Structure 1
Amino acid sequence: MFALPPDLTALLARCVAGRAHLPAEGTTVYRAAHLTETGGLFTLDVAGDAGMLSLYAELDPAAEQTLAQAGAQAAGLAGVYLKRRPVEARHEANVNREYLSPPDPVWGEARPEVVGLEAGVPFLIRPGADLSTGLFTDARPARAFVRSAGAARVLNTFAYTCGFGLSAALGGAAVVKNVDLSRKVLAWGQENYALSGLPAPDTDFLYGDVFDWFTRLRKRGDLFDLVVLDPPSFARGKSGVWRSERDYARLSALAAGVTGPGGRVLALVNHAGVSAAAFNRMALAGFTQAGRRARPEARLGAGADYPGAGHLKVVCWALD
């Protein structure tokens, strides 16, 4: 068992104070305390008046309660949900989702659904739903980039709850296609569209394997001005086992096949073990394999609420 920091109250107060500018800018869903600030022990995420406390080391139940209450008091939260994220999860933890992400708050009032804002844009957050609660806040700068990109036709792959697709639509894109293997998260994405008053026809939310959809879209002759690649680090699917540190070139090659002349590919990798240089090499190798020349147009990372974070790399590639 690990012990809580002796200066826990002061530590959390400093962390929260360092994010005071975010609510003032219309962002109420963000990371209030990051691993680099807590000695690798925990993170605290905020969505409205709900908190999500992620533990990266084992604490006894009393310490979990103490930490949750301290986080709630520091950030002014009504309730806090617990997420256990062991580095090497035991088999019991892997099969028992309620152990990893209890559906009820560990402290305070229940908030089954919260509408959080990102630069004024509403997103539906479900704090007790699972380990992933509806929005990956580290990608906030990348979503802002997509909204400002001015692309007319956008393909958003591994869409999850469609944050990138929504950003593109709010930025004026005429066509946005969101692709994901889960009908549940695509429906969640449609709810996010509705919160912003945007139409969300089923034809814009494509269910199925992303790799299959790349093939289908290319055969149909569909081309896009911007393709967003935000894959998981690891996944199993019909096309086999995907590992971002090994397979990204295959993905960027497929993306090139549906990117129109002069279009762009926004490539993300969320993996601390993949260096920026290795990520660039893999993406570029895929574009070359597809017969396309590419140059990096912009490089992004996580937001300021992730100080010292090196896990997320984002590169916008301009293709010939």
Structure 2
Amino acid sequence: MPAFPLSAADLSRVLARRAHLSAQGTTVYRAAHTTETGGVFALDVAADAGVLSLYADLTPAQEQELAALCGEAAGLAGVYLKRRPVEARHAANVARDFLSPPGPVWGEARPEVTALEQGAAFLIRPGSDLSVGLFTDARPARAWVRSCGAARVLNTFAYTCGFGLNAALGGAQTVKNVDLSRKVLAWGQENYALNGLAAPDTDFLYGDVFEWLSRLQRRGDVFDLVVLDPPSFARGKSGVWRSERDYARLAAQAAAVTAPGGRLLTLLNHAGVGGAALERMVGAGLHGAGRRGRVTARPGAGEDYPGATHLKVQVWALD
């Protein structure tokens, strides 16, 4: 058996650094980040369920040992496994059960749990593919959305609508969530209902984001805040999306539905695109749309992602 980068005592010390989060109303978070585990694994916690992400090849016995170590150290009921090789995103559709086994690798089954992020409730499904319902590194960005005071919000690439939910909790009068998956939009509606919010179908827009941006522009709809949280790579009706090539075009279309004095929240999780490159792309898109803007904040990843550089987040104030 290999010597894991953390002993049980070391892992307990890492977990203790997050102990204050639950007292602040957050029970879904990154319990151990790759920068703390020698790049071998990450552990996410959602209520009493754990999600163990592996970035190294281990034998089944080693996986079991590591899952048990994490589950016992964190006091969890069950631990689910996510194998994340470099090619995981491209293999997800053909090797789904291998990359994300639907049952726990250790402990009891927790097919669905309710967890809190700064008091907001989310349904987390630990055995649901590689993404379990919330990207916890964007917690500071969601907190910013909740506190920014925007009255009209457009949340694109909405996934389970975490940004839209926080906008609504923050008092937004209008929130529209757009995604190409009916499944995740329905999941988002469940999150709304869990927090006592109305979730009419008209606020959950199914379809290609670029097509919806064009449609909203033709209708004359404008928003005080537009959230852009695209994947780094995707295939859709508009063709193949590559963030390093297409983000400027996305920013231009978003600017066309952003009210004067409004804001863009731009996010990108792509190791090959730095913050400066993202800023240049968004700036080029704004220029192409005849708008000007400046970055006023960079929320970044949360404190439970020490040393993380993967997530780029920028708040743009437009003219």
TM-score by length of 1: 0.97
Paired residue for 2:163? 164
| Distance (whole Å) between structure 2 residues aligned to residue 148 and residue 93 of structure 1 | 35
What is the correspondence of 1:1-320 to structure 2 with a 5 Å cutoff?
Answer: 3-5=2-4, 7-88=6-87, 95-320=94-319
TM-score, normalised on structure 2?
0.98
Gaps of 5+ in 1: none
Deviations 1:195-231 (A, max 9, x none): 1000000000000000000000000000000000000
Q: Is the contact made by 1:225 and 1:260 (CA closer than 8 Å) also made in structure 2?
A: yes
Runs of 4+ in structure 1 over 4 Å off: 89-94
User: What is the distance in 2 between the residues matched to 1:163 and 1:258?
Assistant: 21
* Structure 2 counterpart of 1:194, one-letter code: A
Question: Counterpart amino acid of 2:276?
Answer: A
CA distance, structure 1, for counterparts of residue 59 and residue 285 of structure 2: 47
The answer (yes or no) to whether the contact 1:4–1:63 under 8 Å persists in 2 is no
**Contact 2:248–2:283, Cα closer than 8 Å, also in 1:** yes
**Distance apart, 1:96 and its partner CA:** 2.1
- CA distance in 2 between counterparts of 1:211 and 1:133 reads 25
> What do residues 24-80 of structure 1 show as CA deviations (whole Å, max 9, x unaligned)?
111000000111111110000000000000001110111111100110111110000
Q: Percent identity?
A: 76
Distance (Å, rounded) in 1 between the aligned partners of 2:286 and 2:116? 36
Q: What SS class does the counterpart of residue 300 from structure 1 fall into?
A: coil
Instruction: Label 1:90 to 1:139 Cα distance change in 2 as closer, same or farther (>3 A).
Output: closer
